[in-house]
Amino acid sequence: MWDEVPCPFCGLVCDDLRITTHSGKLEVIANGCPISSRAFATLSLSEPAAPQIAGKTASLDNAAAAVADFLGNAKQPLVAGLGTDVAGMRALMQLADRIGAVVDHMNSVYLMSNILALQDSGWVTTTLSELKNRVDLLVLAGTDVTSRFPRFFERYVWNRDHLFVSNAREVVYLGRGLDTQAGTAPDGRKPTVIACDITRIGEVAGALRCLIAGRQLQATRIAGVPLQELQKLAARMQAARYGVLAWAAADFDFKHAELAVQSLCGLVNDLNRSTRFCGLPLGGNEGDVTANQVCTWQCGFPVRTGFASGGPYYDPRHFSAERMLRENEADALLWVSSFNEKNTPPETSVPVAVLGRRGMKFRKEPRVYIPVATPGVDHSGHIYRTDNVVALPLRKLRESALPSVAQVAAEIEKVLESR
Amino acid sequence: MLTKLKGGKVYDPANQVNGEVRDLYVRDGRIVAAPVHDERTHCEYDLTGHIVMAGAIDLHTHIGGGKVNIARAMLPEDHRRDIVARTSLTRSGCGHAAPATLTTGYRYAEMGYTACFEPAVLPMNARQAHMEMGDTPIVDKGGYALLGSDDFLLKMIAAKSDQKAINDYVAWTLNSSHCIGIKVVNPGGISAFKFNQRAMDLDEDHSYYQVTPRQILTVLARALSDLGVPHPLHVHGCNLGVPGNVATTLETVKAAEGLPMHLTHIQFHSYGTEGDRKFSSGAARVAEAINQNKNISTDVGQIMFGQTVTASGDSMTQFRNAPFGRPKKWVVMDIECDAGCGVVPFRYRDTNFVNALQWAIGLEIFLMVSDPWRIFITTDHPNGAPFMSYPHLIKLLMDKTYRNSMLDTINPDAAAESTLASLTREYSLYEIAIMTRAAPAKILGLTDRGHLGPGAGADITVYSDDADKQKMFAQPRYVFKDGELVVQNGKITKVSWGNTHVVKPEYDKSIEQPLKTYFERYQTMRMDNFKISDDEMQEFGHANKLLSHPCRKQT
């Protein structure tokens, strides 16, 4: 039995799980959630562990050589997916640098909304322990949080222990059609719901900024919300001692969501003129924060960076792996997903190699499939939490014959180096 | 294998060698005494006409950790001015204000530096700092763990816990975060900012804990002294950048109460309020205080003109200074009931009165502090300027004519306010070797670095002598790291990964009982997951060596 196990399957990386193992089968017996329980329980040992070349069993050496064959000769290879831990990402960066690949994460379409806002204007943000101990007004912008981060309220909002005595916590949802059940306090107090159109959440933030600045608004409804409701919210936000405005960019499923994120960050900045208020971008699933951190420290730029010209070149729009495949701008794909077997590569006609969690099922057989170990289960490693600050140590919970992403990437590089 | 470095002019202040022509011998990564018999040398370098020093040590440079990576992520336009291509030996990256980790290591080595110390390791973010430093090649690394705004310590001080318990907590923090010293940033102020306090002077109460920065400084300086940690408390004081903060700085010297204390980037803390613009130099008063108090050491945090980025743990100050930043984008973070950070890009301009005077104040301090063993060359990279400006800074210190010609180009009102033109001091090579080698090693407790005596790690930099000191220091002829030739003519010839320097003071393990409960109740990770293991450190650092330095015996 294992105690205080960090869970790599969502961006909260809760580290209080109790897990039992019976001949390699894992069960979360305490502090689980729908995501972790399923993810640990389905890490089966019955699926084939051997690499496959064109659907046929092969040795790791041969599989690595086969990947090196087409990746090394590609004019514009992609290293994408990037569902891996710190060590895996370090090794993939080294490989990408060598072969001149573009690196992109499977969650980039969301991740970029935050990165672009950061690069354009910056932000004031906080982390999970600050939230847990300080927040008195929590505003959730366009997200129910719990469907992606099931234990968010249990661990950081309705926690019994906190360092600083504060008033009863208040929760406000901004957005129509959200499941707001988790926002009900243990004492039965219901959250406030402001049913705006989520695609127009940037407008709501803009209106709140005007109200906080003391300006008159001509409109009587903004994004479907009566002005009076926003006036009340603006007053509550200004009265908060330590407010937090959280959003999940993955729930901003509309074009130019970075502008909505930027508006929300601007609102938070304005509130800090008189009180304390912080943003909290929620993400980190499938190792997206991890991949981005490592990419940034090794080359200076976030993901969606390419190395074809010898040095790093960052292009947050053109270097979308999905777009490049669609527009025939790439001619080979190395796809990595070690946490989740459901994240298969995008459909493409270029040769594909997959370093995937065991048991991955493909609509179209990739040229090479190398089942890889899952960090935090089959080997130790590190993964970042949503807040970009805490990297947790992942444990090895069982013996596994599967290689890690880092090992496979090193094997591929070894082949390339020897040629 | 025995290597002979023949006939160089050696500057080794730790061993009182001042420009004497000597041979050096290196075996298995160490400097050794001249062989007694005619032992065969496997490799010989003729260094006739060359200057030989130990590898340089930067004791305050922000090279790794969360705030540095935020700075990188924020500044693609700055990186694009300095893209670094891959070579057969080295990885690609980027340079300038917030360089990639790989480029950072290469470039420090190419400048003759062999050790760099990250001065603000937030314990909650220590893994990231070590992972980034682990990806910083060639140079040795180490970090100072940040305390003083963490709620655990503030609670202890507010509850008047005894010094022994605080010592245990400090030692526990050093052990679990694998650091070599303790840094305090705006003591208590980062926490106070979370309670919406916007300023906090040395004797002002934290609005929640009713604890003053002076109390925090005293308690931490005492802890390090009691624990025998070689490096004194590394202090980023109150009121950074505020006109008139010279008074706070002078009081901070007194707050040390005779205990060793290092006042970092002192330039930012040496401002008066005289003159038409209510901004003046406090350099003379600060230098006098340092000259008189032998327990105080300092590094300057010199500014240089041009674009850079400021990355600091001081969220309170960074929030206040954000409106002065260029380009207009900035980040402030509250972090894990532990600390905070603020990242604000800055463009220092020589035409701007304040910036020009900041530049002059830094140089005044350099020239007025008399003891080179207690003042170190830093730009607080990247806060005052990127580290690549060190050779230029050394030239400013060594060449009065050059310095005065630069002074003529800055904002004339600032030049008129400064006493710089009247300061005739020129640093010698011996003094530069003290400031960049012998003294930092001494103050960090690195007994086998920063000198060239037998037994020292063979970190050696060889320069071609040149009247233009900037040129000389920018491009060493050879750099040896642990005995291996890693740089030739200012270019990398071999990539190694350096060591990590730590201290592991002893402590009473029972401190873990309240800590375990604290983590379970208030933090969002468990104590045992917070602590970094030795195995992890190996993993971060390409299997590099952890060098643990002894702490003085407790009496």
H helical segments located in B89-125: 101-110
Which pLDDT value is given to residue A43?
A: 87
Q: Which of B36-40, B66-70, B379-383 has the lowest mean pLDDT?
A: B36-40
What rounded mean pLDDT belongs to chain B?
Answer: 97
In whole angstroms, what is the distance from residue B429 CA to residue B440 CA? 16
Q: Which of A390, A396, A404 to mutate to test the interface with B (most CBs of B within 10 A)?
A: A390
Q: How far apart are CA B116 and CA B96, in angstroms?
A: 17
Cα–Cα dist B109/A154, whole Å? 49
Minimum distance, in Å, between the CA of residue B517 and any CA atom of chain A: 11
B525 → chain A, closest CA residue: A15
Q: What number of other Cβ atoms are within 10 A of residue B46's Cβ?
A: 11
Q: Which of A299, A380, A416, A417 is best to mutate for the B interface (most B CBs within 10 A)?
A: A299
Rounded Cα–Cα distance for residues B298 and B166 (Å): 25
Q: Quick one: which of A346, A317, A370 has its CA closest to A102?
A: A317
Is A4–B135 a contact, with Cβ atoms under 8 angstroms apart? no
Neighbours of B43 (CB within 10 A): 11
In the 3-class helix/strand/coil scheme, how is B52-65 assigned residue by residue? EEECEEECCCCCCC
A278 in B contact zone (CB under 8 Å): yes
Nearest residue to B403 (alpha-carbon basis) of B418, B386, B388: B418
- Asked if B552 contacts A415 with a C-beta cutoff of 8 angstroms, the reply is no
CB contacts, 8 Å: B524 with chain A: 128-129, 132, 155-156, 390
State the pLDDT confidence band at B390, using cuts at 50, 70 and 90: very high
pTM over 0.80: yes
B141 to chain A, any CB pair closer than 8 A? The answer is no
Question: Stretch B136-161: mean pLDDT, rounded?
Answer: 98
* Residue A241 touches chain B, beta carbons under 8 Å: yes
Give per-residue pLDDT as tens, A113-135.
Answer: 999 999 999 999 999 999 999 99
pLDDT at A168: 85
Helix (H, G, I), strand (E, B) or coil at B218: helix
User: Helix crossing, A405-418 with A60-73: angle to 10°?
Assistant: 60
Kindly state whether B220 is in contact with chain A, defined as any CB-CB distance less than 8 angstroms: no
A419 CA: distance to closest CA in chain B (Å): 14
A166 touches chain B (CB under 8 A): no
- Are A241 and B196 a contacting pair at CB < 8 A? yes
Residues 391-450 of chain B with CB under 8 A from chain A are none
The C-alpha of B205 sits at a distance from chain A's nearest C-alpha, in angstroms, of 17
Average of per-residue pLDDT across B457-471 = 98
Interface of A with B in 45-104 (CB under 8 A): 86-87, 90, 94, 97-98
Chain B residues near residue A393 by CB distance under 8 angstroms:
127, 529, 532-533, 536
Decide if A300 and B128 are in contact by the 8 Å CB cutoff.
no
Rounded Cα distance, B415 and B338, in Å: 41
* Residue scoring higher pLDDT (B528 or B542): B528
Sign of CA dihedral A315, A318, A321, A325: negative
Q: Per-residue confidence at B554, pLDDT binned at 50, 70, 90? A: low
Crossing angle, helix A288-299 and helix B66-74, to 10 degrees?
80
Q: Name all domains of chain A by residue range, CATH numbers in brackets.
A: 47-107+286-418 (3.40.50.740), 112-282 (3.40.228.10)
Q: Do A119 and B85 touch (CB under 8 A)?
A: no
From B135, which residue of chain A is nearest by alpha-carbon distance?
Answer: A298
Q: Do A278 and B64 touch (CB under 8 A)?
A: no
pLDDT band at A166 (very low <50, low <70, confident <90, very high): low
Cα B369 versus chain centre, distance: 18
Environment class of B390 (CB within 10 Å of its CB; exposed 0-12, middle 13-18, buried 19+): buried
Q: Which among A4, A97, A276 is the nearest to B528, CB-wise? A: A4
Neighbours of B456 (CB within 10 A): 25
Chain B residues within an 8 Å CB radius of A134:
194
Q: Is the pLDDT of residue A48 over 90?
A: no
A30 touches chain B (CB under 8 A): no
Chain A residues close to B522, C-beta within 8 Å: 129, 132-133, 161-163
Question: Hey, what amino acid is at A353?
Answer: A
Tokens of A91: 């090794």
DSSP secondary structure string, B19-36? EEEEEEEEETTEEEPPPS
B92:A130 CB<8 A: no
Average pLDDT of B27-56?
A: 94
What average pLDDT score do residues B278-307 get? 98
CB contact under 8 A, B525 and A162: no
The tokens 């045992």 sit on which residue? Answer: B528
B56-444: CATH architecture = Alpha-Beta Barrel (3.20)
B266: contact with A, CB 8 A cutoff: no
Share of chain B above pLDDT 90, in %: 97
A392–B66 CB contact, under 8 Å:
no
| Substitution target from B96, B333, B532 for chain A, most A beta carbons within 10 A | B333
Place of tokens 């971060």: B540
Q: Which two tokens stand for residue B291?
A: 């000259």
Q: What is the ipTM of this complex?
A: 0.98
> Running DSSP on this structure, what letter comes out for residue A167?
P
- Convert B137-167 to b/e letters by CB count within 10 Å (16 or more is b): bbbbbbbbbbbbbbbbbbbbbeeebeeebbb
Q: Is B483 on the interface with A (CB under 8 A)?
A: no
